[in-house]
Amino acid sequence: MGVERYNGVGRVEYSKSVRGKASRWHEVLGDAGRDEEEAPDDDPEGEGAYPEVQFDDSGPGIEELQRALNRHADSGSLDLWEIDVDGTYGPLSHGLAVEVVYRLGVYTRRIRSDALSSYAHELIIGPERRNTTQKQRAKQRAKEEPAAAGEPRIVSAADAGIRTRAVFGRLGPQTRVSTHYSAGPRARNLAEGLRIAREHDRFHASKGWGGSSYHFNIPDTGEIICARPVSQKGAGVKAHNSNNVHVHFYGTTGDRPTQAQIETAKWLFANAHTAAMPSGHRTDRDLRQADIRGHNQWPDQSTGCPGHYTPKGLGLK
């Protein structure tokens, strides 16, 4: 089924080869504390044979870059996901480029700007041009400790191609949690979850909500897809959005959550405040101590949401 990609400018086919092997990236595209990436050890000017790339750049050169990124993603050694080769450099392309450049050892830390430098561009296309220090750095990064057992895969909003605006102001102390369904299709895996999360983001933006009103999304396979940063108030429950973190389970009335969804929700409530979460999606407290309710359990709500996804039904309280 064709969907309009956040990553592009038209309607393109959503790639069936997208794989949910997202890493946890802290502040990849964050606004705070942003500075330029360090130049590689033997290239103080940071200049390369390929042009610098910025958001919305398009053309055959971008297609070449996207194909090179997919080769790295599919190499097995980096264990990443693939993107569509649509010729437009958007958040998904940049998110993958940030991780590939880091894993290749090009710089001493992850890129923190919205642009891909000409030098990084060159080494994505031709990684054999890396110097000895960069190759050694890449070997060290390949040995980095993986996520702890039982920890769900987490995709930040930046990596998912979701960028919300704080049209309702700040969320405030996160003392409440609401669970939701979307009255729509289930997301059977991470790829479907990402596609539907971006559709929700566009639909909610069209309603004047500044993008997705959900803070977290959990597909059937138990990943966490972050959407609205927890600093921003959402629009999930009429008159009860201040201090309220919105957690969305894909599905509608009659759907039962999978065991993976339940376990991930429990993990999220216990760990959302820890360094296990990307900084923009890290809550200010242990959510198990919050007032946790289903959407229709708040006063004056006329909705069937969240169906069977009530906190009691999930064993979350």
Residue 228: domain span: 154-297
Q: What kind and span of H or E run contains 291?
A: strand 291-294
Same domain, residue pair 6 and 80: yes
Number of C-beta neighbours around residue 274 at 10 A: 10
Same domain, residue pair 169 and 101: no
Q: Is the pTM of this model over 0.75?
A: no
Give the C-alpha separation, 223 to 75, whole Å: 23
Same domain, residue pair 76 and 169: no
Per DSSP bridges, beta strands 224-226 and 216-218 are antiparallel
The residue with tokens 């110097």 is 131
Same domain, residue pair 213 and 268: yes
- CA angle 84–7–234, rounded 5-degree value: 130
Same domain, residue pair 58 and 135: yes
Number of C-beta neighbours around residue 10 at 10 A: 9
Residue 270's identity, in one-letter code, is: A
Q: What is the CATH number of the domain that holds 242?
A: 3.40.80.10
Whether 252 is in a domain gets the answer yes
Whether 11 is in a domain gets the answer yes
- Considering 113, 142, 171, which residue would you say is the last residue of a domain? 142
Local mean pLDDT, 10-residue blocks, the chain (317 residues): 31 30 31 35 53 92 95 73 86 82 89 85 96 94 64 89 94 96 90 90 96 96 95 96 97 87 94 94 96 95 86 78
pLDDT of residue 308: 73
Same domain, residue pair 42 and 93: yes
Same domain, residue pair 126 and 184: no
Whether 107 is in a domain gets the answer yes
Whether 40 is in a domain gets the answer yes
Whether 105 is in a domain gets the answer yes
Same domain, residue pair 84 and 166: no
pLDDT of residue 26: 31
Residues 6+ apart with CB under 8 A from 226: 154, 155, 156, 157, 160, 162, 215, 216, 217, 277, 278, 280, 281
- Considering 97, 115, 142, which residue would you say is the last residue of a domain? 142
Residue 71's identity, in one-letter code, is: R
Whether 310 is in a domain gets the answer no
Whether 28 is in a domain gets the answer yes
Tokens of 75: 């190499």
**211 in the Ramachandran plot: left (φ > 0), alpha (ψ -120 to 50) or beta?**
left
Helices (H) and strands (E) counted in the chain, each on its own, are 7, 8
- Considering 110, 142, 174, which residue would you say is the last residue of a domain? 142
Per DSSP bridges, beta strands 11-13 and 2-4 are antiparallel
Give the C-alpha separation, 68 to 50, whole Å: 13
Same domain, residue pair 166 and 283: yes
Give the C-alpha separation, 34 to 54, whole Å: 16
Whether 277 is in a domain gets the answer yes
How many domains does the structure of the chain reveal? Answer: 2
Same domain, residue pair 289 and 158: yes
Same domain, residue pair 122 and 187: no
Nearest to 176 by CA among 53, 31, 287, 91: 287
* DSSP type of residue 39: P
Give the C-alpha separation, 133 to 297, whole Å: 57
Tokens of 277: 């979460």
Same domain, residue pair 55 and 97: yes
